Structure 1
Amino acid sequence: MKQRIGYARVSTEDQHLDLQRNALQQAGCYVIYEETASGKNASRLELEQCRKALRDGDTLVVWRLDRLGRSLPDLVQIVAELERSGIGFESLTEKIETNSAAGKLVFHVFAALAEFERSLIRERTHAGLAAARARGRSGGRKPKLGDKQVREIKVLLRDPEIQVADVARRYGVSRTTLYKHVGVVAPRHP
């Protein structure tokens, strides 16, 4: 038997699920998974339980699109996975449902916009890196150790009495960072 299963989420403890719960019940959802979790949080246990409960022919219903996905690309991915499993999707507020041809069209327009957004971000990132290189800058993190510090460390490590771990602590870096920047091949033991 096909089911309409609801998913409701609020971000903080001081928010309430009542509005979402009522809307989902009115939409014919007899089973509703509820949780309090930030949309930024990748780990949403109730959403995972909800997805495990869905079967071919069922429909996942949410009150609003932003209750399901952390971002538009994330939302598109979730709905695509549902569609591959034969599960419909419906958002009550936006009046989007993927069980009809028109609903699928609207959702695929969203998917195209998400891909367009990713492409724009990628293009801006590449343009920014190219502009930085043209100004003589390179991307990435600043080195943990400056040239002067590397020279000092090399001098210190010439002394066989000085341990790599002691030097690393003194400069506030890991031994691995020292090995990388100073060229120490293997740790020395007392």
Structure 2
Amino acid sequence: MGLVNLPAVALLAGLAMLPMPASAQGVSAPAWGASVEGLRLGLSLVDDVKPAPVIEVTFENGGQRDALLNLGFMLGNGPMMVPQAIRLSVRGASFGTCELEYADRRFSHVGGRIDDLVVGLPRAARYVVRLPVRDFSCAARKQYPMPWPVETLEVVARFRGGPALSTNLDMQGMRLMPFWRGTLESGAVSLPPAPR
């Protein structure tokens, strides 16, 4: 019988008890929308995330050309990224319908430099954004954060692609970049109410 490496066994046992990283959390298969010029948008739910639901929005380029997307804006020269071009359309029996806008809770106002949130999407590439549902608000109801309904909602993600909006003098060339313009829509998913 061979010798047992006790420190290695102890290390493996300890690793087995560590919490799973976010990347290991279960994610449902994306509900894909129609392809537009080779691009499509998928929406997934992240399992076992508390206290509020989390979604994954996946951009996929299945076309023959590389794509350049403007997902929103960045603050402070890049460390804070706000994918404001991603919206959620929600519908429920008693809730009705509303378009939710992304509004990151980490800031309440913008007082400095703003840059475009540029994402390059080469052919056959995917880009995934994971967002807490609590960071979306219903502007039409003037509620932020929006009280999350106690019913299951049907949710669809939308992306509206547009040009660079930055007015910084050192980034004027961004206005010449061929950003993809148009609208992508995901398939629908059922989002359960947040646990209480």
Asked which structure has the greater CA Rg, the reply is 1
> Which TM-score tier does this pair reach, normalised by the shorter chain?
under 0.3
Give the TM-score normalised by structure 1. Answer: 0.19
Give the TM-score normalised by structure 2. Answer: 0.19
Larger RCO, structures 1/2 (Cα 8 Å, 6+ apart): 2
Q: Whose helix proportion is higher, 1 or 2?
A: 1
